[in-house]
Amino acid sequence: MAKKRPQTRAKQQQPKDGEIPVVGAREPCPCGSGRRYKACHGRAAAHAVTELVHRPFEGLAGEGDWVALRELVPAATVELKLRESLPEGVPSVTLATVLPMAWPALRRDDGSVLLGLQNDTASGDISRDLADTLQRALTAQPGTPVEGRRAPAEGPRLQDLLDPEGAFEPVVHSGFEFWVPDAENATPEVTASLERANAAAIPTVKLSGVDAAYWCETPDKNHLRWVMPHEEEQLLDALARLHAAGRSGLGEGTRLVGSFRAHGLTVPVWDLPTGVTADDVEKPAAEFAERLASALATDEPLTADERRARGGLTNRQVTLS
């Protein structure tokens, strides 16, 4: 019998690392290694997509307000300014807390773009997901929504697309009528979604005297939720000092009850009596900000009472994200 000739494989051209296309997890990796994609270049790509970014809005103007609009505020909009000029036919870009049918984004009939903030995201970096949605919305056909997808691991983030000098000034709305310029002529699906959203919206007001503080009204009591930029451990120490000294309230009948963690920032929460309005807490909040600044500047060890107060605040802390 003739001796079998050894079989040889044609040598595959090796693409550069940055040019490896995405294929199915079980398919051969396009780099030519002979391994499945998920065990080769797909491993790094999957890690980049799923790795959680602790503070996705860090570096953006108004980081505290980004967090508040993502987690706490029902209905609000913000005009966004991009680093580059808007494409022809796109008169404006507006961030919105929620869009009808939970669309990630919407290109209106007039070409303007609405970008939804309170949506599920496919990766661990909300900023990258939103940037991908925004880029696709800028080129979408007018009058169409933009569907969600997994953003490319190497894609830009909001920090790359938005003007770092642009102001971030949320406008809080009592309902979601901003969805459509002409609500009377909206489709039945949008009308139904609008009615459901308005029925569920909690009345909310942004304080004008301090940053990223939002009053809200609930049936039993009102609340103030204040997104703060300070390092968590330092902030909890300062809050504990004020709490132990009986100086953590915002007026008679108010009480600091705990805090949220959200996107790398801490959000102290106060219970307010039902009759206390947003206007009523403007001055107390500004006065509290001064007391907090003094407490943050103190580096003395906590006293026993302050440690107990800190423990109580920590035990009532809830992580939102």
**pLDDT tens, position by position, 168-226:** 999 999 999 998 877 777 788 878 888 998 998 999 999 999 999 999 999 889 999 99
Return the residue matching tokens 């773009």. 113
pLDDT of 142 above 60: yes
Going across the sheet that includes 76-80, the strands are 144-146, 105-107, 113-116, 93-96, 76-80, 171-172
In which band, very low, low, confident or very high, does the pLDDT at 69 lie, cut at 50, 70 and 90?
A: very high
In which band, very low, low, confident or very high, does the pLDDT at 1 lie, cut at 50, 70 and 90?
A: very low
* CB-CB contact of 31 with 43 (8 Å): no
β-pairing, 105-107 with 144-146? antiparallel
* Tally: H helices and E strands in the chain: 8, 12
Secondary structure of 32-63 as H, E, C letters? CCCCEHHHCHHHHHHHHHHCCCCCCCCCCCCH
**pLDDT computed for residue 188 by the predictor:** 87
List 79's β-bridge partners, or say none. 94
CA distances, 276 to each of 188, 212, 227, 255, 281 (Å): 38, 19, 20, 12, 7
In which band, very low, low, confident or very high, does the pLDDT at 37 lie, cut at 50, 70 and 90?
A: low
In which band, very low, low, confident or very high, does the pLDDT at 34 lie, cut at 50, 70 and 90?
A: confident
pLDDT per position as a tens digit, 96-139: 999 988 999 999 999 999 999 999 888 899 999 999 999 999 99
Please calculate the CA angle 266-273-170 and round it to the nearest 5 degrees: 45
CA 162, 164, 169, 172 dihedral sign is: positive
**pLDDT computed for residue 252 by the predictor:** 95
Phi/psi of residue 106, nearest 5 degrees? -145, 130
**pLDDT computed for residue 38 by the predictor:** 62
Q: Both tokens of residue 39?
A: 């065990």
Between 18 and 224, the higher pLDDT residue:
224
* CB-CB contact of 161 with 188 (8 Å): no
Between 74 and 31, the higher pLDDT residue:
74
In which band, very low, low, confident or very high, does the pLDDT at 23 lie, cut at 50, 70 and 90?
A: low
Mean pLDDT of 17-42: 70
**pLDDT computed for residue 239 by the predictor:** 98
Please calculate the CA angle 44-50-55 and round it to the nearest 5 degrees: 120
Phi/psi of residue 13, nearest 5 degrees? -70, 130
* CB-CB contact of 128 with 58 (8 Å): no
Q: Both tokens of residue 319?
A: 């992580």
The residue type at 204 = T
In which band, very low, low, confident or very high, does the pLDDT at 4 lie, cut at 50, 70 and 90?
A: very low
Question: CB pairs under 8 A, 24+ apart, for 155-160?
Answer: 155/128, 155/131, 156/128, 156/131, 156/132, 157/125, 157/127, 157/128, 157/131, 158/57, 158/60, 158/127, 158/130, 158/131, 158/134, 159/59, 159/60, 159/127, 160/83, 160/131
Mean pLDDT of 43-64: 80
**pLDDT computed for residue 8 by the predictor:** 36
**pLDDT computed for residue 22 by the predictor:** 62
Q: What is the rounded radius of gyration, in angstroms, for the C-alpha atoms of the chain?
A: 25
Most confident of 6-15, 191-200, 223-232: 223-232
Mean pLDDT of 277-293: 98
Q: Determine if the pTM surpasses 0.85.
A: no
β-pairing, 255-262 with 265-272? antiparallel
Cα dihedral angle (124, 214, 58, 97), rounded to 10 degrees? 50
